[in-house]
């Protein structure tokens, strides 16, 4: 069993009960430990504390003189690599159903980050990954920080508010509903992470451009595992592949601090298949009373329900549902993509003395910010040297000038 699983800690369980199980009676059955249960809000069963908001719980079989069960018990999100010993017996029935796939990196299989990179990626892929990080650091004033163990509450609140703003910006752009942003769920995350962070059971990895967070990742920690929970980056920096840079830096940190596993957690994404060394399954475990027809039928119905749900998920119906949910919750139609632009090489250098200059750090037009960042990336220019001007020519709308070159920009609105 995983030692010091953060999702079974008193800090996590206490805050979860405050938000989702207040006034409910907690039950500790004698056939497994240390998982505790409360009544399910919709089904006539008992569910584990933490429900679906953990990134993986484990348990072990208890060994009392007589194992007893009273009703039907549902445990969410059991990673198959935890190798839990089930508590099935003549009295206690057991069912399971696979849900989401999971992915992880076995850090102990490699001496360090460089060896992992060498053995996992091709030469061209390693070049690209190093290029992303190098280009980001050349174009902006970048620093990295794992907030872990100590932080003032005022600084924590500020970072978490930025975390939320970046998530909203990201998923508004994707036009997809993100359940993490549900007010009740988000309030839980904000309250639970701080005490866990102080105990080094959670951490916030932050990428800063000067003093502005542009990438934030929530991680949880057991003694040996880094659980990657929620990651977001400022979409204005998309050209710079902040997602890949984040993974690289957290992995380096993980080897430095002697962790054994980096767990990408539940859900299939193409990038996970590229980075992971092992795929596993998240399972739901169901225990029931073999002597009760009602408990046995209920357990089988729950198993079949979640098997059907996974089949629909395999057909990507959940993605369509998230799109629809976004539209309904935001009460608006999906927007049309109307923005396009092109760079124009200039026949001769333009002296911009007579042109209106714009502050690159205070651009009101979000599209212009994207254009500016593309210019930095493509031309290996630095943000502190960038100057932007409104053009007075018909051929171009803006003039961008860096240390090495100047270029025109034409915006095409459809």
* Mean pLDDT, range 387-394, rounded to an integer: 90
* Mean pLDDT, range 340-345, rounded to an integer: 90
* Mean pLDDT, range 357-380, rounded to an integer: 89
Residue 2: band (very low, low, confident or very high) from pLDDT cuts 50, 70, 90: confident
- The contacts of residue 120 (CB under 8 Å, 6+ apart) are 275, 277
Residue 337: band (very low, low, confident or very high) from pLDDT cuts 50, 70, 90: low
Residue 331: band (very low, low, confident or very high) from pLDDT cuts 50, 70, 90: low
What average pLDDT does the chain have? 92
**Cβ pair 33, 59 in contact under 8 A:** yes
pTM comes to 0.91
Q: Is the pLDDT of residue 327 over 70?
A: no
**Cβ pair 381, 396 in contact under 8 A:** no
Handedness of CA 52, 58, 64, 68 (dihedral sign): positive
For 335, the 3-state DSSP assignment is coil
Q: What is the pLDDT of residues 93-148, one digit of tens each?
A: 999 999 999 999 999 999 999 999 999 999 999 999 999 999 999 999 999 999 99
Confidence at residue 183, expressed as pLDDT on a 0 to 100 scale: 94
**Cβ pair 221, 214 in contact under 8 A:** no
Q: Is the pLDDT of residue 70 over 90?
A: yes
For 166, the 3-state DSSP assignment is helix
Q: What is the dihedral of CA 5, 9, 11, 12, to 10 degrees?
A: 60
Beta bridge partner(s), residue 411: 341
**Cβ pair 289, 296 in contact under 8 A:** yes
* 3-class SS shares of the chain: helix, strand, coil, % to 5: 40, 25, 30
Q: Which stretch of DSSP H or E encloses residue 232?
A: strand 225-233
Confidence at residue 322, expressed as pLDDT on a 0 to 100 scale: 53
Distances (CA, A) of 170 to 331, 361, 412: 18, 20, 23
Q: Is the pLDDT of residue 414 over 60?
A: no
Residue 48: band (very low, low, confident or very high) from pLDDT cuts 50, 70, 90: very high
Measure the CA–CA gap between 320 and 326, rounded to whole angstroms. 10
Residue 23: band (very low, low, confident or very high) from pLDDT cuts 50, 70, 90: confident
Residue 332: band (very low, low, confident or very high) from pLDDT cuts 50, 70, 90: low
Q: What is the pLDDT of residues 141-182, one digit of tens each?
A: 999 999 999 999 999 999 999 999 999 999 988 888 889 999
Of the candidates 135, 210, 129, the one whose C-alpha atom is nearest the C-alpha of residue 380 is: 135
Confidence at residue 349, expressed as pLDDT on a 0 to 100 scale: 85
């Amino acid at each position: 069993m995983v030692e010091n699983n953060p999702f079974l800690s008193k800090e996590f369980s206490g805050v979860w009960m405050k938000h989702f199980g207040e006034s409910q009676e907690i039950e500790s059955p004698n056939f497994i430990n240390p998982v505790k249960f409360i009544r399910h809000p919709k089904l006539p069963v008992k569910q584990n504390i933490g429900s679906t908001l953990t990134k993986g719980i484990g348990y072990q079989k208890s060994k009392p003189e007589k194992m007893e069960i009273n009703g039907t018990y549902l445990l969410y999100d059991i990673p198959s690599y935890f190798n839990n010993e089930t508590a099935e017996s003549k009295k206690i029935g057991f069912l399971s159903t696979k849900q989401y796939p999971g992915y992880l990196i076995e850090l102990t299989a490699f001496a360090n980050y460089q060896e992992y990179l060498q053995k996992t990626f091709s030469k061209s892929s390693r070049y690209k990954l190093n290029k992303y990080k190098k280009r980001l650091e050349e174009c902006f004033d970048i620093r990295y920080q794992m907030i872990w163990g100590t932080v003032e509450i005022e600084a924590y609140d500020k970072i978490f508010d930025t975390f939320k703003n970046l998530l909203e910006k990201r998923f508004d752009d994707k036009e997809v509903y993100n359940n993490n942003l549900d007010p009740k769920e988000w309030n839980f995350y904000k309250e639970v992470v701080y005490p866990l962070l102080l105990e080094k059971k959670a951490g916030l990895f932050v990428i800063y451009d000067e003093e502005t967070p542009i990438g934030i990742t929530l991680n949880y920690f057991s003694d040996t595992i880094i659980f990657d929970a929620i990651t977001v980056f400022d979409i204005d920096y998309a050209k710079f592949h902040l997602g890949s840079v984040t993974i690289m830096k957290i992995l380096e940190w993980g080897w430095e601090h002697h962790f054994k596993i980096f767990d990408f957690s539940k859900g299939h994404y193409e990038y996970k298949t590229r980075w992971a060394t092992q795929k596993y399954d998240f399972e739901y475990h169901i225990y029931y009373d073999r002597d009760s027809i009602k408990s046995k039928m209920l357990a089988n119905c729950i198993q079949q329900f979640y098997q059907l749900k996974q089949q629909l998920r395999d057909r990507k119906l959940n993605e369509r549902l998230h799109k629809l949910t976004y539209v309904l919750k935001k009460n608006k139609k999906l927007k049309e993509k109307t923005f396009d632009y092109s760079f124009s090489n200039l026949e001769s250098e333009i002296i911009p003395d007579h042109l209106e200059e714009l502050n690159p750090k205070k651009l009101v037009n979000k599209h212009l910010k994207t254009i500016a960042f593309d210019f930095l990336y493509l031309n290996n220019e630095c943000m502190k040297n960038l100057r932007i001007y409104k053009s007075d020519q018909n051929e171009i709308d803006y003039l961008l000038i860096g240390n090495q070159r100047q270029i025109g920009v034409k915006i095409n609105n459809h």
